[in-house]
């Protein structure tokens, strides 16, 4: 049977293109400005400036990051236990995370990156603030820890094709310019079968009273304006963003402050203020 005329014409039209190197045909080679203009930045410059101004206090447990220092033991234990369960490791081993690659997005001064490196992981810490990265690098060197700290955005690192066994994005999503673009970049950075951890604040009346009125105005744990309540995410909204990015929520937990011991604890049902979610990328 004779080929339809349109097929013949298309073959003839395309034949000269076969002699052109593939790289010369790439879209962003010919339309670089169009490409750059349509890629969305997750960086909110005002937010980065805010954290840069506080950067000297990252490692002061009584300073502006006191709440993160107080949260650290419970959230690090959560990460360790979830990662060990997923990768079949013994969480009681000193170097339980040995050999795993972990990316800490929005690492700040390295409060999460360093404990993960101490457990044997190969940790990359990424932050949009150059000063945060300088503080984190200096602190790690003083501790004789070897970490790979980089200034930049998740989307830029994702565009390089980098992938990790585990990606952590703790207490950052409420500070980014575009939640969905940020989640897409995080999803790309997780290797197939790998894990993504997120923590943030719920958007409830209780969180307004505790995280804004209480922490910023009454107790003054945080400088006023650290958080914008409207940017807090409900667990269902975060789960939806995770699913839209192609990952599956596998676990979530609330984080609550015990009024008697003054220590933070995991809570299986109380996600009213602070919470953590774990997601898995399909193989």
Ligand X SMILES: C[S@@+](CC[C@H](N)C(=O)[O-])C[C@H]1O[C@@H](n2cnc3c(N)ncnc32)[C@H](O)[C@@H]1O
The answer to whether 108 contacts ligand X (rule: CB under 6 A) is: yes
Q: Give the residue among 181, 156, 47 at the shortest CA–CA distance from 108.
A: 47
Chain positions 6 to 25 lying near ligand X, rule: CB under 6 A, are none
Q: CB-wise, 154 or 189, nearer to ligand X? A: 154
CA torsion sign for 152, 44, 171, 156 is: negative
Q: CB-wise, 186 or 256, nearer to ligand X? A: 186
Residue 84, SS3 per DSSP: helix
Q: Which residues contact 151 (CB under 8 A, 6 or more apart)?
A: 126, 127, 128, 129, 130, 132, 133
Applying CB under 6 A, which part among 19-27, 102-110, 133-141, 259-267 lies near ligand X? 102-110
Applying CB under 6 A, which part among 133-141, 164-172, 242-250, 252-260 lies near ligand X? 164-172
Query: How many CB atoms are closer than 10 A to CB 197?
Result: 24
Give the residue, chosen from 97, 112, 167, 187, that forms a contact with ligand X under the rule CB under 6 A: 112
Question: What minimum distance in Å lies between the beta carbon of 157 and ligand X?
Answer: 9
The answer to whether 48 contacts ligand X (rule: CB under 6 A) is: yes
Q: CB-wise, 11 or 49, nearer to ligand X? A: 49
Measured at the CA of 77, the angle between CA 71 and CA 81, to 5 degrees, comes to: 145
Rg of the chain (C-alpha set): 22
For residues 222 and 126, give the distance between their C-alpha atoms in angstroms, rounded to a whole number.
23
The answer to whether 170 contacts ligand X (rule: CB under 6 A) is: yes
Applying CB under 6 A, which part among 12-20, 107-115, 205-213, 244-252 lies near ligand X? 107-115
Q: CB-wise, 108 or 235, nearer to ligand X? A: 108
Q: CB-wise, 43 or 183, nearer to ligand X? A: 43
The answer to whether 128 contacts ligand X (rule: CB under 6 A) is: yes
The answer to whether 51 contacts ligand X (rule: CB under 6 A) is: yes
Q: Give the residue among 165, 55, 181 at the shortest CA–CA distance from 120.
A: 165
The answer to whether 129 contacts ligand X (rule: CB under 6 A) is: yes
Distances (CA, A) of 26 to 12, 31, 45, 70, 114: 21, 9, 31, 49, 40
């Amino acid at each position: 049977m004779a080929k339809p005329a349109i097929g013949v014409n298309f073959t003839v039209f395309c034949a000269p293109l076969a002699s052109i190197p593939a790289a010369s045909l790439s879209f962003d080679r010919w339309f670089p400005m169009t490409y750059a203009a349509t890629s969305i930045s997750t960086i909110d410059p005002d937010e980065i400036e805010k954290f840069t101004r506080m950067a000297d206090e990252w490692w002061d447990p009584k300073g502006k990051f006191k709440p993160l220092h107080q949260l650290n033991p419970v959230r690090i234990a959560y990460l360790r236990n979830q990662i060990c369960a997923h990768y079949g490791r013994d969480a009681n081993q000193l170097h339980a995370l040995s050999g795993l690659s972990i990316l800490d997005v929005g690492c700040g001064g390295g409060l999460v990156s360093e404990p993960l490196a101490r457990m044997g992981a190969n940790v990359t810490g990424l932050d949009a603030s150059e000063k945060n990265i300088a503080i984190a690098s200096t602190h790690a060197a003083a501790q004789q820890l070897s970490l790979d700290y980089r200034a930049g955005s998740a989307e830029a690192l994702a565009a390089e094709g980098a992938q990790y066994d585990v990606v952590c994005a703790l207490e950052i999503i409420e500070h980014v310019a575009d939640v969905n673009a940020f989640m897409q970049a995080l999803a790309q950075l997780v290797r197939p079968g790998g894990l993504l951890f997120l923590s943030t604040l719920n958007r409830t009346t209780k969180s307004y009273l505790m995280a804004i009125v209480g922490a910023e105005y009454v107790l003054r744990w945080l400088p006023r304006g650290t958080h914008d309540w409207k940017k807090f995410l409900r667990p269902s909204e975060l789960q939806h963003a995770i699913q839209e990015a192609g990952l599956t929520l596998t676990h979530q937990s609330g984080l609550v402050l015990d009024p008697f011991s003054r220590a933070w604890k995991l809570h299986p049902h109380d996600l009213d203020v602070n919470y953590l979610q774990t997601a898995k990328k399909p193989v």
